Structure 1
């Protein structure tokens, strides 16, 4: 590739690769570990999902991600980086049948980040978290160039096992050298505030159906209750209780869309003792009671692939 290739040239190439390997709307996993492709041919709200730690680059169109009262918008000129599992709502804001929203998500591996930090001689981060576990920045050409080279390997499955790890190392190097570096270093540092919040997130994901006892969780993390609250909200934009509630409601919506259980059974399954409380919180979160919301979603997306909370929020 010529060094003269511009961001527009690179975005156009990435878009053509995504179009070829994502021929219909939805999420697509090519034979390249850690890479997911997304395509949507119209403006729409997407099902709630759990955003995995990832780098997200849009080749065409635009999208807005919402969490904890904050919005993050990105397009072909910006990239999105998440460093923790975050329950988010997302909306495709620029797309059409002729020019669909196209993006590629690259999973970020904590172990690889830690190794790259050591090789780069990165300084130890501050003790307290430096910011939220999600952010948008202007997309720089070297990062996009590396992402395009990674996407090309979808067409070269014999080369991918040998070349993909090298390109992924370059992507991590570019991210650690960018404004996203501090949040990545915080996550990788063993005793940093963000790494403790990462452990709290893992515990909440595994025990979201159980009553949340903040004092027990703070003891598990060797943190005071006030410090846990402050740092958790600093990183995730919500309190531990709000995070748990988001996990419960997102899982409830997924089960409702799958039409496997009735509303009352789903409320109990995700940890609610009171169906009326479940209905109130569901309506507050999604703007309509459970059955009405699900009918609206099914009508809106009846011709689209079935949603899943395991998809990366891209």
Structure 2
């Protein structure tokens, strides 16, 4: 791992007003956010927006169905779709979790994709993928991330230089194994773009839980075609995805909002608190009444 990057990111964190042991804050660049933790964080639901997450120190462990995904210093995730999965943070005061998240702005990504095609650069990987498999940053990408963090320490460099450096970072990411995952959110009539629009609509109205037929209609697909493409893009059938989304949101409400079980069940669209409790216990391995016991720090 680049020692300069860790030093510069530590300086960027020290420049923040917050002195909290756990934080997630905006930087002077609108599409870049800093996150950190000086203590372990228990496994809990986490929502990832489209973009790139880079880990500089510490470690995160993600849980997506039966998959356990561990990523640490020098690695990044390239996420093209809104994703819900559980994450655990491994960190101490001596070896804190520190990282940055860079939003994938559609206009920039479309421009970069066009430039790749215009200059006959290597084709993007054929499969969209979810982007949740951690990748090691290529050397050129690591250099660009280091420069970006250094630029964020100076207002003038942030305003003048950081947009070009961000474009350079995403340029390298598009050429990497999950390049197409970053483009799946963009406009167009491809099946993955239609699915991405449906997922964005679901994020915009988190209290809404439409049926699969309604989602297929919104995507302009038959139910069978929607089911096939939805699973190809997200890795899950639509009903399983919607159920996971409900239960993840429910656990977040129980842990962070101190809601009761019946109130939470209603908030995430369950008509029966008993059915909600059964589904929650089956999915998480503990009853909803015990969810608050997993609140962080661990």
TM interval, shorter chain, is 0.7 to 0.9
> Is the alpha carbon distance of 1:68 and 1:236 closer, same or farther for their aligned partners in structure 2, counting shifts above 3 Å?
farther
Aligned to 1:34: 31
Secondary structure of residue in 1 paired with 2:69:
strand
Tell me the distance in 1 between the aligned counterparts of 2:85 and 2:31: 20
> Is the alpha carbon distance of 1:143 and 1:98 closer, same or farther for their aligned partners in structure 2, counting shifts above 3 Å?
same
Tell me the distance in 2 between the aligned counterparts of 1:264 and 1:20: 42
Aligned to 1:57: 54
TM-score between both structures, scaled by the size of structure 2: 0.86
| Partner deviation per Cα, 1:190-223 (whole Å, 9 max, x = no partner) | 1222211101212333455445322232232122
Runs of at least 5 residues in structure 2 that lack an aligned partner in the other structure: none
> Is the alpha carbon distance of 1:202 and 1:11 closer, same or farther for their aligned partners in structure 2, counting shifts above 3 Å?
same
Runs of at least 5 residues in structure 1 that lack an aligned partner in the other structure: 1-6, 303-314
Aligned to 1:134: 132
The 8 Å contact of residues 65 and 71 in structure 1, kept in 2 or not, is answered as: yes
- Of 127, 143, 146, the residue aligned with 1:145 is 143
Aligned to 2:99: 103
Quote the RMSD (CA, aligned, Å): 2.7
Q: Mean alpha-carbon deviation: is it higher for 109-118 or for 206-215?
A: 206-215
| Partner deviation per Cα, 1:278-303 (whole Å, 9 max, x = no partner) | 11122233332222211x134x539x
Aligned to 1:118: 114
The 8 Å contact of residues 60 and 101 in structure 1, kept in 2 or not, is answered as: yes
Aligned to 1:20: 14
TM-score between both structures, scaled by the size of structure 1: 0.82
Equivalent residues in 2 for 1:156-195, closer than 5 Å: 156-188=154-186, 190-195=188-193
> Is the alpha carbon distance of 1:91 and 1:257 closer, same or farther for their aligned partners in structure 2, counting shifts above 3 Å?
closer
Q: Mean alpha-carbon deviation: is it higher for 167-176 or for 235-244?
A: 235-244
> Is the alpha carbon distance of 1:133 and 1:227 closer, same or farther for their aligned partners in structure 2, counting shifts above 3 Å?
farther
> Is the alpha carbon distance of 1:231 and 1:273 closer, same or farther for their aligned partners in structure 2, counting shifts above 3 Å?
same
- Of 68, 76, 80, the residue aligned with 1:79 is 76
The 8 Å contact of residues 129 and 192 in structure 1, kept in 2 or not, is answered as: no
Tell me the distance in 2 between the aligned counterparts of 1:105 and 1:118: 24
Aligned to 2:63: 66
> Is the alpha carbon distance of 1:49 and 1:106 closer, same or farther for their aligned partners in structure 2, counting shifts above 3 Å?
same
> Is the alpha carbon distance of 1:97 and 1:231 closer, same or farther for their aligned partners in structure 2, counting shifts above 3 Å?
same
Aligned to 1:89: 86
Cα shift at 1:21: 4.1
Cα shift at 1:129: 5.2
The 8 Å contact of residues 132 and 236 in structure 1, kept in 2 or not, is answered as: yes
Cα shift at 1:77: 3.1
| Partner deviation per Cα, 1:208-248 (whole Å, 9 max, x = no partner) | 54453222322321223222222222222222222222332
Aligned to 2:265: 267
The 8 Å contact of residues 43 and 87 in structure 2, kept in 1 or not, is answered as: yes
The 8 Å contact of residues 209 and 242 in structure 2, kept in 1 or not, is answered as: no
| Partner deviation per Cα, 1:37-64 (whole Å, 9 max, x = no partner) | 2222233324312111121111112212
Secondary structure of residue in 1 paired with 2:87:
strand
> Is the alpha carbon distance of 1:259 and 1:197 closer, same or farther for their aligned partners in structure 2, counting shifts above 3 Å?
closer
> Is the alpha carbon distance of 1:157 and 1:288 closer, same or farther for their aligned partners in structure 2, counting shifts above 3 Å?
same
